[in-house]
Structure 1
Amino acid sequence: MQQLRVDLDLCEGYGNCVFEAEDYCELGDDDVVVLLQTEVADEDLERVQLAVGSCPVSALLLTQAPGS
């Protein structure tokens, strides 16, 4: 299973990730991404990969979840 992570120092609040995977990402009051889920279900992987790839500042990252 993959895990979604965010580097909050890089996030500039573009919101592209929200459009691709709104059930995983939203923008907080400070316009910085908030992760709603971190463990990515296999059936959601393609959408979340699109969200990661859509970030213009590469603030999102997919990694292998521990124990997977």
Structure 2
Amino acid sequence: MRIKADRDVCIGAGQCVLTEPAVFEQDDDGIVVLLTDQPDDQVAEAVRDAVDLCPSHALSIDQE
């Protein structure tokens, strides 16, 4: 699993950070920052939830 974040599309809602703070963070402007683009299996379900919850669809998952 590889996560992609389109920072140009992000609106800073923060749902990703609330859902999985070990993978997602926000910069000073509230825009998503990936702490890792390849999370371990322990947080995979939460990452999927974060992608689904993103209101601007700035997050996606690439299944390699």
Q: Which has the larger radius of gyration?
A: 1
Aligned sequence identity (%): 38
Structure 2 counterpart of 1:63, one-letter code: D
What is the TM-score normalised by the length of structure 2? 0.93
Higher strand share: 1
Is residue 37 of structure 1 aligned with residue 31 of structure 2? no
RMSD between superposed Cα atoms in Å: 0.9
Residue 53 of structure 2: aligned partner: 54
For 2:8 and 2:17, locate their aligned partners in 1 and report how far apart those are by CA, in whole Å. Answer: 18
Q: Which runs of 5+ in 2 are unaligned?
A: none
Superposition deviation, residue 41 in structure 1 = 1.4
Per the alignment, in what secondary structure is the counterpart of residue 17 of structure 1?
Answer: helix
